[in-house]
Amino acid sequence: MAVRIAPSARAHGAQRMLSMTTLTVEAFVVFFAALVAHQLIPEHRVATWTLALISSVLLLLTAGILRRGSVGYVVGAVLQVPVILMGIVVPAMWVIGPAFAALYVYGVVRGNRWDAEKDEIDRRVLAERAAQGEANPTD
Q: Is the pTM of this model over 0.95?
A: no
How many percent of the chain have pLDDT more than 90? 49
Q: Could you report the per-residue pLDDT of 91-105, keeping only the tens digit for each? A: 999 999 999 999 999
Q: What band does 138 get if pLDDT is binned at 50, 70 and 90?
A: low
The amino acid present at 110, given as its one-letter code, is: R
What sign has the CA pseudo-torsion 131, 133, 137, 139?
Answer: negative
